[in-house]
Amino acid sequence: MIIDPKNISAAAFQAYLQGAVAPRPIAFASTIDAEGQVNLSPFSFFNVFSSNPPILVFSPSRRVRDNTTKHTLENVQEVKEVVINIVDFAMVEQMSLSSTEYDKGINEFTKAGLTEEPSEKIQPPRVKEAPVAFECLVKDIISLGDQGGAGNLIICEVILARVDDAILDADGKIDPFKLDAVARMGGDWYCRANGSALFEIPKPLRTKGIGVDQIPDQIKNSLVLTGNNLGRLGNVEALPSKFEILEYGDRPEIVEMKIRYQNDPESMVYFLHEHAKSLLEEGLVMDAWKVLLQD
């Protein structure tokens, strides 16, 4: 399928964008207008764009159906302050309810059953139930168009962060399992960042990996190993020594394979690669290399 956004409706192309660019974090934004009326609304066009200065950006788009603007945008144009609350699984249904298009002046905190908590440095209240809340000054608002679906980038500088101690690990860092964050997919779908959805990949910051291009062809063209497996293998700085490979070959499981498939080299390679794959999934990268480099 090839889609030219000029050949379909804005609403139809928006569905493709939101379905493909996912999952998206959610900015649960609390604002006030010039009269002090509170508004609370979620936005999934959101992310962090700088740490020094700390900058968050979210975008309330113009409504596709009638090209009207949202109360959040109108509020930050009047009072250039916002609290960006982070949504966890425990409040996702209440967050969704708050996205109802209530009339101006209706307090979504009340409608959603959430608790207003005074902020420290700005006027809009934070969501007491949120695991993290960022008090922000609105530094700029950039309009991306004047038609339905056009975004409005609200550039926010964080001046205070409030983090619930309950989501911290022993080192004082945010534990993703305790945070239990949710993110937006397309349509009515969300995802939950917990359980088996969370996995670790070591960042190649302190090392310079050999790269997939330096992996021997017989391994790179494996019928077993995936692109992800090759990426992990390519993140090592150096291959194990010949001595380490020979020593590893004395392990019972390797000896057993060599004996069983001594007359069937294709099966030998296949099962060695299967074993290496399982080691990679356990994070034992150098052990996997020692298996893959067995003669």
pLDDT at 205: 66
Summarize the confidence of residues 74-80 as an average pLDDT: 97
DSSP 123: S
| pLDDT over 70 (residue 47) | yes
| pLDDT attached to residue 2 | 96
pLDDT in tens, 267-294: 999 999 999 999 999 999 999 999 999 9
Q: What is the mean pLDDT of the chain?
A: 95
- At 74, give phi and psi (nearest 5°): -60, -40
Host H or E run for residue 98: helix 92-98
pLDDT tier for residue 295 given thresholds of 50, 70 and 90: confident
Q: Is 143 helix (H, G, I), strand (E, B) or coil?
A: strand
What digits encode the pLDDT tens for the residues 15-26? 999 999 999 999
**How far does Cα 248 stand from its chain's mean position?**
38
Q: Looking at the domain covering 10-195, what would its CATH class be?
A: mainly beta
Q: What percent of the chain has pLDDT over 90?
A: 90
Tell me 180's DSSP state.
-
Task: Please give the Cα distance from 200 to 202 (Å, whole number).
Answer: 7
Share above pLDDT 70 across residues of the chain, in percent, rounded to a whole number: 100
- So what's the pLDDT on residue 201? 86
pLDDT band at 198 (very low <50, low <70, confident <90, very high): very high
Q: Tens of pLDDT along 110-122?
A: 999 999 999 999 9
Return the domain boundaries, the chain.
Answer: 10-195, 212-293
